[in-house]
Chain A
């Protein structure tokens, strides 16, 4: 008779991420490990065969054979999807975060399928119809030069995206996301409050431009700035998403995250980044009113703004194009 394996637990060797090393090198006490999370980036749950005729032992046989990659040291390349704890086992639906892009609400995407951020005055003016043009930038064009003068923003809705449950039903409290992390390349852009936020309406439009961007919680070694926005009564960024509100969520709703994007000083004042990591456009950039930047007259940098629910771990990558007139 063989012996039972009594090793009990598993020992894993951890590697420091680049940010971990950076914080360790700073020696300012910022290297402090206080919590952990489990991730399942490699897992494709579509391989889970819950109807396998051979029985439950065969449901996950393919999933368990998934080869696991070695650890990356880039902190943003790991733990993209996390395991989640819920105190109950009867949850059949989990909330997602979707972009709300319905036309006419200020949060629609540009016709190119992305959000476009004209980064400086010249680019904004050209898209508004000439020098100091007073036209509208239009759908999907986020004014990166003066973010608070334009209604355009990004809106993310959270809830159960299913038509099997009425949107008027209440989303269970433990599934409501109350805190979001927004990650953006700090070399390119900053996060500004949305049009309806208290932070954006405490002055009139002419001085709205003085409203400061949100302060990032930290900027990592790869220049990725992380902003944390929490739900509270006065939060301009996270608000309740009622069942009667027009939404991209089909079922019960949780919260809504809204923000605008402003251009960084570097992109506003220099073409350096557009030359280094950008491209010359081969198509025209037009707004809804027909004003446009002709092909080859502007450069762009494609980037991603990442929204992650802190509690539910759901992640949404939003494509953003920073544009600069030549």
Chain B
């Protein structure tokens, strides 16, 4: 019986999973410097920074936010724990900063066995109560950039840590999840996370204490980096630097900034110190491969109207000549003959009884 379809058996179908990575570099001048800051009177102007009336966070775009070409790249916010020494009702946006911290902790750290909210822990060891991150900046990378997750061990954030606000980037530290590939943590309700270690970039502002400073956490699947505020503090006040950074024009240090400035003001200060951010994202690609096998005695004829002239094969002079056909397309069909997927070859594939081939047709999900 002539036939145009060939049944795919279980042996002809296999599922595979591949991880695709893209390199995402974000230069610091996009975050602060290339485009205008938002107008003081409100609105967006030609800025790539978007503040909201609720004041809970700030959005950063890669182009003026009003443009249809702009891509949302990350959100920035800051907060502190209710247990933080900074927490005081007289602070600017005190409740909102606590709310932000609690929201992030609720999602990323979760609750303990008594259903009490856990605080961020700088090494992920919740038994040790002395290593909490109570004051933090949060960088929420968009799904557009992180795709399925941030690739472990690929994250680098360079922050300016010069003491002087106007020359914030003359000295820098690098935050990296340098052991993310081998020592990531799995005790978060939001998936896996790694520890961000601080090392000197340019300059030597970071005090050498013998071991790398634990300066934050990176949640890979959530795409959120938590940066401890003590990164900008002097060791004399519990920080890591030789001297505290002046976070704003007024010469306020990080504690004064977190208590006396709004969240968006703190975000502005943080952006001013962001040099470069880079990481690799990950896309999990699930594929089904269909092995379409054309054996020597299959697919040697064609139903193409040009194949026949008065019902006679145009590729033959007599019946003893071997038939030949040329494939350009592979169609994958449902049991009721509906075309569900299609693949093309780059050039016609010759098929005759002297050859056979297997076309591996991959369908990605």
| Chain A contacts to B: CB under 8 angstroms | 8-17, 19-20, 23, 30-46, 48, 50-51, 59-60, 63-66, 68-73, 75-76, 78-79, 81-87, 89-96, 160-164, 173-175, 178, 181, 217-218, 220, 226, 228, 251, 309-315
Which secondary structure dominates where chain A touches chain B?
Answer: loop
Given contacts A23-B340, A34-B8, A85 and B298 within 8 Å (CB-CB): yes
The listed residue (B298, B334, B342, B360) touching A79 by CB distance below 8 A is B342
A-B pairs, top 10 by smallest CB distance, nearest first, are A313-B303, A20-B340, A39-B329, A313-B4, A12-B343, A81-B304, A83-B299, A14-B343, A82-B4, A92-B319
Given contacts A45-B306, A84-B301, A14 and B362 within 8 Å (CB-CB): yes
Task: Considering the complex, give the chain B residue whose CB is closest to the CB of A161.
Answer: B311
Verify if B17 is at the interface (C-beta below 8 Å from A). no
The listed residue (B302, B318, B333) touching A84 by CB distance below 8 A is B302
Q: Please give the distance in Å from B197's CB to the nearest CB on chain A.
A: 40
Number of contacts between A and B (CB, 8 Å)? 302
Task: Tell me, in angstroms, the Cα distance from A95 to B321 when the chains sit together.
Answer: 18
Task: Tell me, in angstroms, the Cα distance from A12 to B314 when the chains sit together.
Answer: 29
The listed residue (B324, B329, B332) touching A60 by CB distance below 8 A is B324
B342 to A34, Cβ gap below 8 A? Answer: no
A64 to B335, Cβ gap below 8 A? Answer: no
A70 to B344, Cβ gap below 8 A? Answer: yes
Known: A48-B324, A313-B303. 9 other contacts (CB 8 A): A20-B340, A33-B340, A34-B8, A34-B335, A45-B314, A91-B313, A92-B312, A226-B336, A310-B4
Q: Please give the distance in Å from B95's CB to the nearest CB on chain A.
A: 44
B320 to A90, Cβ gap below 8 A? Answer: yes
Task: Tell me, in angstroms, the Cα distance from A202 to B353 when the chains sit together.
Answer: 49
Given contacts A34-B7, A40-B328, A71 and B342 within 8 Å (CB-CB): yes
Task: Tell me, in angstroms, the Cα distance from A251 to B308 when the chains sit together.
Answer: 14
Q: Please give the distance in Å from B12's CB to the nearest CB on chain A.
A: 9
* Chain B neighbourhood of A312, CB < 8 A: 2, 4, 303
Query: Most B CB atoms within 10 A — which of A37, A83, A160, A218?
Result: A83
* Chain A neighbourhood of B346, CB < 8 A: 68
Q: Please give the distance in Å from A6's CB to the nearest CB on chain B.
A: 14
Q: Please give the distance in Å from B18's CB to the nearest CB on chain A.
A: 12
* Chain A neighbourhood of B318, CB < 8 A: 92
Verify if B330 is at the interface (C-beta below 8 Å from A). yes
Task: Considering the complex, give the chain B residue whose CB is closest to the CB of A8.
Answer: B358
Query: Most B CB atoms within 10 A — which of A8, A12, A34, A312?
Result: A12
Q: Please give the distance in Å from A189's CB to the nearest CB on chain B.
A: 20
Given contacts A33-B334, A162-B312, A311-B4, A40 and B304 within 8 Å (CB-CB): yes
B341 to A314, Cβ gap below 8 A? Answer: no
Verify if B331 is at the interface (C-beta below 8 Å from A). yes
Query: Most A CB atoms within 10 A — which of B311, B317, B327, B336?
Result: B311
Task: Considering the complex, give the chain A residue whose CB is closest to the CB of B344.
Answer: A71
* Chain B neighbourhood of A70, CB < 8 A: 344
Q: Please give the distance in Å from A122's CB to the nearest CB on chain B.
A: 37
Verify if B65 is at the interface (C-beta below 8 Å from A). no
Query: Most B CB atoms within 10 A — which of A73, A85, A93?
Result: A85
A38 to B357, Cβ gap below 8 A? Answer: no
Interface membership of chain B positions 1-18, coded 1 if the CB is closer than 8 angstroms to chain A and 0 otherwise: 111111110000100000
Task: Tell me, in angstroms, the Cα distance from A11 to B307 when the chains sit together.
Answer: 27
A175 to B348, Cβ gap below 8 A? Answer: no
B314 to A48, Cβ gap below 8 A? Answer: yes
Task: Considering the complex, give the chain B residue whose CB is closest to the CB of A179.
Answer: B337
